[in-house]
Amino acid sequence: MNENLKEEIKIRKTKKEKKHSSIIFDIFIEKFFLIIGLSCLVILFLIMLFLVKEGVPLFSKISLTDFLTGSEWYPTSENPRFGVLPLIIASVSVTILASAISIPLSLAVAIYLAELAGSRLREIVKPVVEIIASIPSVVIGFFGMVVIAPFLMEKFDIDSGLNMFNAAAMLAFMAIPTIASISEDAISSVPVSLKEASYALGANRWQTIFHVTLPASLSGIWTAIILGISRVIGETMVVLMVAGGATLIPHSIFDPVRPLTSNIAAEMAEAEVGGIHYNALFAIGLILFVITFMFNLAADYLSNKYKFKSN
């Protein structure tokens, strides 16, 4: 009897200890996970730190204004010049052209998916959009080189098919999944009651979409467009392979250009580590980082500010 009781107490004690230690373990896990959870912020900070560390030394040799407004980029000539204006203009113009092509198509896909498609067609079109998102950019660039470039040369009688228009068309295709899927989420999240009210007033389906659903989802659509544009600005391989690579300020959409991203990719291999050219390429990386960071902050702000509470 006494033996049994002693045994019982012993078991209870170890159980209690076990419980106690697993609670301590739990607290340890929580702290550990918090530290890992902060890693994204640490990485973001490190990226900024290393871009600054390698890029900023450039400005001890040339001034920031000369860098940003200089219209000549000749990094390897005897008297090297580092003016990124042509590269910035190239990036901006390619991005505008790509957006002009991509936004209408993406919105068509989004409205089609959210409002028009029957459930079976939806099941087909939605994965198609996700497949577009997954095609490696180098493949799209390759396609632009071997198929679109010869086609443009023949059709428009130009010297080279590798130009701003070709790059913009390829980039537009790549931006479609981003813009379409986020817009679709926004359009689908418009409460049914709003649409019902519109129908009750005698509006037809298109009037309801155009006057009620789209305005109600506008902030989501803007978020989608901003993120799509941000992706276009940052895309590298397509413009590297297809945009033509000339560091001149373009005068027509069929001029070859060299956007910021492709310039880094094209020249990093020949830049001497720690040299002025190397610094300049990191400074360009810093410009890209800052631009996309602002776009992402704007998208984040917009998507948090106006959002239908899901019911």
Partner 1 sequence: MIKVNRSNITEKTAFFMIKSGAFIVIGVLLFILGYIVMKGASAISWEFLTEMPRKEMTEGGIFPAIAGTFYLMLGSSLISIPVGVITAIYLSEYAKNPRIVKIIRLGINNLAGVPSVVFGLFGLSLFVIFLGFGTSILAGSLTLGLLNLPVIIRSTEEALIVVPETYREASISLGATKWQTIYKIVLPNALPGILTGVMLSLGRAAGETAPIMFTAAAFYTPDLPVSVFNEVMALPYHIYVMATAGTHIQATRHLQYGTAIVLIGLVLMLNLTGLILRYRFRRRLRL
**Residue 232 CB, nearest approach to partner 1 (Å):** 10
Structure tokens at 98: 């790509």
**Residue 267 CB, nearest approach to partner 1 (Å):** 11
Across the chain, the runs of DSSP E, i.e. the strands, are 73-74, 81-82
Unique residue bearing structure tokens 């544009």: 229
In the DSSP assignment, the letter for residue 212 is I
* Choices 61-69, 74-82, 184-192, 260-268 (CB under 8 A): range interacting with partner 1: 260-268
User: Is the torsion defined by CA of 94, 96, 97, 99 positive or negative?
Assistant: positive
Give CA separation, 217 vs 37, 76, 130, 188, 301, in Å.
32, 50, 22, 9, 15
* First CA to last CA distance, the chain: 62
Closest to partner 1 by CB, 11 or 297: 297
Structure tokens at 291: 């631009």
Q: Does 204 bind partner 1 (CB under 8 A)?
A: yes
In the DSSP assignment, the letter for residue 74 is E
Closest to partner 1 by CB, 164 or 174: 174
* Choices 48-56, 150-158, 181-189, 192-200 (CB under 8 A): range interacting with partner 1: 48-56
**Residue 251 CB, nearest approach to partner 1 (Å):** 25
Instruction: Give the integer Cα–Cα distance in Å for 240 and 222.
Output: 28
**Residue 2 CB, nearest approach to partner 1 (Å):** 29
Instruction: Give the integer Cα–Cα distance in Å for 237 and 231.
Output: 12
Q: Interface residues for partner 1 in 56-115 (CB under 8 A)?
A: 104-105, 107-109, 111-113
Q: Interface residues for partner 1 in 172-201 (CB under 8 A)?
A: 173, 176, 180
* Choices 3-11, 49-57, 58-66, 76-84 (CB under 8 A): range interacting with partner 1: 49-57
Structure tokens at 138: 């180098």
Q: Interface residues for partner 1 in 113-142 (CB under 8 A)?
A: 113, 116-117, 125, 127-132, 134-142
What mask of x and - would describe binding to partner 1 in positions 213 to 252, judged by CB under 8 A?
A: --------------x--xx-xxxxx--xx-----------
